[in-house]
Amino acid sequence: METPLNIIPIRKWFKQLSNKPVIISGPCSAETEKQLIETAKAINDIGKVQIFRAGIWKPRTRPVNFEGVGEKGLLWLKKAKEQTGLLTTVEVATPKHIEKCLKFGVDILWIGARTTSNPFSINELTQVLKGVDIPVMIKNPINPDINLWVGAIERFNKIGINKLAAIHRGFFPFELTSLRNIPKWEIPIELKRNFHNLSIICDPSHIAGKRKYINEISQKALDLDMDGLMIESHISPDKALTDSKQQITPKELKLMLDSLVIRTSNSDNFDFINSIEKYRDQIDSIDTQLIELLAQRMEIVKQIGVYKKNNDVTILQLSRWEKIINSRINFGLKLGLSEKLIKKIMQLIHKESIQKQNEIMNN
């Protein structure tokens, strides 16, 4: 994971992509020539989109669903490109898909979430890309496993693809949630920390699953300094053959893009730098104290563990744990912290404490 890869950031792939954020938009699926070209033109008229996306082969959970128009869609996409000047990108999942995309002059390939989850598929795709200079964007795997994502990036890089970007489209939710896929933001942030040159694009459409959340998620992604957005747009979303609930019209896309606040990640303003440094010093000091306190707590936990062992007392006493969690939540609430946060932190600490006492018991 720490190997520095010679990755080229998205802003250097094509001259049209030199400004941040890069905006990718287009329908979930190409459906007809008319739909594709009309959508491309309307999206191009916004003046803020650089890359046109369209699914040509669709990975569907059940075979009864629309599985894409196939190769003829690439011809429509080529026409859309000729008529608008937009760059194009298509999801590829098999070596055949790649061959067809290369034949029809698709500018950028993207790997879907289901494919990233399967190292065998990734290996097969890399085989046909040896010696080819084409950018590849890799969506996160369905499960929140950063190593699968890293693995796919490494596999493409190993065969010589260095125009690589990651697309964060959220992770399968195991709990009931209002979003279609959970954005575990810490995972793309960790990815960026490991590969500084790797551009991260957020796909708010697949995270949201519903139109109404797309704006908020896009703004959040930009505030987290992500390099671009991939947003699904369709001329008549309600009639779309795939992902109809999350697609927006080009008109809505324009309104949304106009409403986004684009902040810079660094400011040259002296006062800003000065005050942010001061705050960061405070945060550093508080974090150090938090960790010291945690270490002290763990020491006491260990001593209790020894005591329990010597007196043949079980590690877990449910009533004590209930008292702890309730009192900490109440205290947190008084200080303006959410129940969810305190609960999560206390559960983590408790889990670690039990593990430490377990080690003592079994020693």
Q: For binding to ligand PEP (CB under 6 A), which residues are involved?
A: 28, 55, 59, 112-113, 139, 169, 206
Q: Is residue 54 a contact partner of residue 27, using CB atoms and an 8 Å limit?
A: yes
Residue 169 interacts, among Mn ion, ligand PEP, none and using kind-specific CB cut-offs from 5 to 8 Å, with ligand PEP
Residue 31 interacts, among Mn ion, ligand PEP, none and using kind-specific CB cut-offs from 5 to 8 Å, with none
Residue among 206, 225, 205 nearest 215 (CA): 205
Q: Is residue 104 a contact partner of residue 134, using CB atoms and an 8 Å limit?
A: no
Which window, 18-26, 186-194, 241-249, 318-326, contacts Mn ion (CB under 5 A)?
241-249
**Of the two residues 112 and 332, which places its CB atom closer to Mn ion in the complex?**
112
**Of the two residues 135 and 305, which places its CB atom closer to ligand PEP in the complex?**
135
**Of the two residues 213 and 321, which places its CB atom closer to ligand PEP in the complex?**
213
Q: Cα angle vertex 159, ends 153, 160, to 5°?
A: 90
Burial of 5 (0-12, 13-18, 19+ CB in 10 A): middle
What does the block give as tokens for 84? 């608008």
Q: In whole angstroms, what is the distance from residue 134 CA to residue 109 CA? A: 7
Q: Whole-number minimum distance, CB 114 to Mn ion, in Å?
A: 12
β-pairing verdict for 108-111 and 87-91: parallel
**Of the two residues 206 and 353, which places its CB atom closer to ligand PEP in the complex?**
206
Interface map 106-145 toward Mn ion (x if CB under 5 A): ----------------------------------------
Residue among 253, 215, 258 nearest 235 (CA): 253
CA distances from 148 to 125, 130, 137, 165, 307 (A): 15, 21, 14, 15, 43
Other residues' Cβ atoms within 10 Å of the Cβ of residue 346: 18
Which window, 237-245, 264-272, 309-317, 352-360, contacts Mn ion (CB under 5 A)?
237-245
What does the block give as tokens for 50? 């650089």
Q: Whole-number minimum distance, CB 351 to Mn ion, in Å?
A: 37
Q: Whole-number minimum distance, CB 170 to ligand PEP, in Å?
A: 8
Binding residues with Mn ion: total (CB under 5 A): 2
Q: Whole-number minimum distance, CB 70 to ligand PEP, in Å?
A: 15
Residue 135 interacts, among Mn ion, ligand PEP, none and using kind-specific CB cut-offs from 5 to 8 Å, with none
Q: In whole angstroms, what is the distance from residue 185 CA to residue 141 CA? A: 14
Q: Whole-number minimum distance, CB 128 to Mn ion, in Å?
A: 24
Report the residue number whose CB is nearest to ligand PEP: 112
Q: Which residue shows structure tokens 């992902």?
A: 243
Q: Whole-number minimum distance, CB 28 to ligand PEP, in Å?
A: 5
Which window, 73-81, 112-120, 150-158, 240-248, contacts Mn ion (CB under 5 A)?
240-248
Q: Whole-number minimum distance, CB 89 to Mn ion, in Å?
A: 13
Orientation angle between helical segments 339-361 and 318-334, nearest 10 degrees:
150
What does the block give as tokens for 319? 């009533």
Report the residue number whose CB is nearest to Mn ion: 28
Q: Which of 243, 253, 257, 342 binds Mn ion (CB under 5 A)?
A: 243
Q: Which of 17, 23, 24, 28 binds Mn ion (CB under 5 A)?
A: 28
Q: Is residue 87 a contact partner of residue 107, using CB atoms and an 8 Å limit?
A: yes
Q: Whole-number minimum distance, CB 75 to Mn ion, in Å?
A: 21
